[in-house]
Structure 1
Amino acid sequence: MPTLRILCLAALLLTFCAAAALAETPTELAGIGLGEPVAKAKGRIHTQKARTMDDSPWVQKIPVAGDKFFSGGYVLVGVCAAPGTVARIKMRYRDDGLDFFRTISGEMLKRYGDPTQYKGDFEGRTMGNKWGFSDSRLRPISLILQRTEGEDPELGAGTTLKLTNWGLLEAERACWQERHGAPKAPAAAPAKKAAPDHGYLPR
């Protein structure tokens, strides 16, 4: 009988631990839910400005309006497997100072623990960390906090936060390619004529 009680307690403990682990997985950013219909955040998202991604036609990119914390951003939503479902959220903070970045980095380290990957360069112009999680269906989720002094090709210089459900993105890609085939690769540029070799270049 004592053995049975111990096994039951162990099972309950594992259940609570699993629930706690799931609760730590971030699923919302700037009031927008990852994996939820984009219509739920229609007050923040400019759906009339949605555009298809040239290199990823299985998703649409939609601008997100700013608030008191963020100056703006975008979401990626599915168009095939789960049309209108948010698969990625990326936002840029209004405060682009280094002190703010250090503060929020410390808070995220306390909340999520050690990052799984450093997302920066050796010069220090780009700094950041990446954390990895899983949702309730064991689909991988990544969270990236990054600050760049140069130009982020998507949102410009400053501090950004990006939350992505890779399982949702992969489902959209697979669905789209099943219906349309793989997207055509861009035409290769014509080969340039080789420069003369004077004997001092590597071969």
Structure 2
Amino acid sequence: MKKILLKILVLNFCVLCTFNVSARKQLPAGIPSIPSGIAGFELGEPVGKFASRLEMNQYFVGIEHPYLKAYRVLPFAGFRGGYVLVGACTGKEAVVRIKLKYKRYDKEFFKKLKRAIEKRFGKSSEYRGDPFHVYVAWKWRFRKSDGKVISMLLEHYDGDDEEYSSGTSIKLTLVSELKREMECYRKKTKESASATGEP
């Protein structure tokens, strides 16, 4: 029974992922498609489009990244929740990162999910975890035909450090737009400092 449920959850990942159709059409045969969203959340879309699935009454702004707003994702089938990051500087209010935490905590699920992703997008060329494999993370990087860059990070953590999410999680980032928000914030901060005469 457990194996059947595991197969269903892995299959759900493939079904719930959404892909950039126009980018896929331009790719040569045999080249993996580019992921642009997961479980109905889509990178680059206005955050209001997903209001019913987020805690929209409050958001968080980190000290290190004041140009981004984080909204919590409400739990739903197969997932414990997560968050979406939204640009807070350019005025687009567009989603630049999606992180979802799977309900399954076991390593077996992570391994099968990784194999399913590799079959769809090819093997990751970048290991981002620790050498002891307490925190395991594999990263994929894609460039769309319009030059925009998307990264995907599959993670699993077995430790008790609150810095990491326990169990398995997946993160999609629209890297190029995240950098655009950062540059926008730096420019506005510099202009504000110049206007007030601050160094």
TM-score (norm 1): 0.76
Show structure 1 runs of 4+ deviating over 2 A.
Answer: 15-23, 151-156
Q: Choose the corresponding residue for 2:152, options 122, 143, 153.
A: 143
What is the CA–CA distance in structure 2 between the aligned matches of 1:171 and 1:66, rounded to whole Å? 30
| Alignment-derived partner of residue 128 in structure 1 | 137
Matches within 5 A, 1:25-104: 25-104=34-113
Moved more, 18-27 or 137-146: 18-27
The code of the aligned residue for 2:190 comes to G
| Alignment-derived partner of residue 172 in structure 2 | 163
Count residues with an aligned counterpart.
Answer: 169
Whether 2:172 is the aligned partner of 1:180: answer no
CA separation of 1:122 and 1:151: change in aligned 2, threshold 3 A: same
Structure 1 unaligned regions, length at least 5: 1-14, 183-203
CA separation of 1:35 and 1:47: change in aligned 2, threshold 3 A: same
The code of the aligned residue for 2:189 comes to H
The code of the aligned residue for 1:84 comes to E
Greater C-alpha radius of gyration: 1
Percent identity, aligned pairs only?
A: 32
What is the CA–CA distance in structure 1 between the aligned matches of 2:176 and 2:30, rounded to whole Å? 18
Q: What SS does the corresponding residue of 2:133 show, helix, strand or coil?
A: coil
| Alignment-derived partner of residue 117 in structure 1 | 126
Q: For the Cα contact (< 8 Å) 2:53–2:73, is it kept in 1?
A: yes
What is the CA–CA distance in structure 1 between the aligned matches of 2:165 and 2:123, rounded to whole Å? 27
Structure 2 unaligned regions, length at least 5: 1-23, 192-199
What is the CA–CA distance in structure 2 between the aligned matches of 1:155 and 1:29, rounded to whole Å? 20
Q: For the Cα contact (< 8 Å) 2:67–2:88, is it kept in 1?
A: yes
